Amino acid sequence: MKLLHIDSSILGANSVSRQLTAEVVAEWQRRHPGTDVEYLDLAAETPEHFGIDALGVKIGQQGEPSQAQRRQNELSERLLTQFLAADVLVIGVPLYNFGVPSQLKVWIDRLAQPGRTFSYTANGPVGLAGDKTLIVVSSRGGMYPEGGALVPQERTFMRQMFGFMGITDVRFVRADGLSMGDGAREAAFAQARRDIQAALAEPVAVA
């Protein structure tokens, strides 16, 4: 079984999501010895923005690609191959400005490719990258009770985007209120650790 461990926080050693993804992976390995773990640090190795030279993989390249297009295609292919090979994804998703970090967004932009991770049919889009378990480690500075005026987008985005690519087994580890004082921070860690146990207790499709 292959697990792809991804961090996207820009806060280095002070990052909560980094600490928690490491705890998830350690617990995963304890429960599933022999798991092959690969690591991708999107803050240290941020893929370039998905620009016009990268577009060929989405629209079907016409003619011989330029050097710039070839370079972009190689980067997309490398990231997509790594993603497709994983059975389990553990992704650290800190909330930055009500969405996912741009470092994570540019990686996702490279994955969404017709014929590889999704296709459109007469009945609508079909995801092609299913049979994976996605564990989203979600850290927030604030707390956003349901029905409030402020609605962060990152959890919905992760569920929708990976669901679009066929991944429906999405599990969340949540640490909310990390900037709201020591008590709230302690409670956030306690909640996250309960979520880790619950997320990893569920069976996985791939043995």
Q: Residues interacting with ligand FMN, by CB under 6 A?
A: 9, 11, 15-18, 94-98, 139-142, 178-179
Closest CB 151 distance from ligand FMN, rounded Å? 11
Closest CB 143 distance from ligand FMN, rounded Å? 8
Distance CA 86, CA 14 (A): 27
Secondary structure (3-state) at 154 = helix
Closest CB 159 distance from ligand FMN, rounded Å? 18
Residue number, 39 or 120, with CB nearest to ligand FMN: 39
Distance CA 189, CA 174 (A): 9
Residue number, 56 or 94, with CB nearest to ligand FMN: 94
Residue number, 40 or 129, with CB nearest to ligand FMN: 40
Closest CB 18 distance from ligand FMN, rounded Å? 6
Closest CB 83 distance from ligand FMN, rounded Å? 21
Distance CA 24, CA 173 (A): 9
How are beta strands 133-139 and 124-127 bridged, if at all? unpaired
Closest-CA residue to 54 (of 107, 120, 6, 104): 107
Alpha helices in 86-153 (DSSP H): 102-111
Residue number, 47 or 92, with CB nearest to ligand FMN: 92
Residue number, 27 or 169, with CB nearest to ligand FMN: 27
Q: Which residues pair with 57 in a beta bridge?
A: none
Q: Which residues pair with 171 in a beta bridge?
A: 135
Q: What region, left, alpha or beta, does residue 166 occupy, with left being phi > 0 and alpha being psi -120 to 50 degrees? A: left
Closest CB 22 distance from ligand FMN, rounded Å? 11
Residue number, 11 or 205, with CB nearest to ligand FMN: 11
Distance CA 33, CA 27 (A): 10
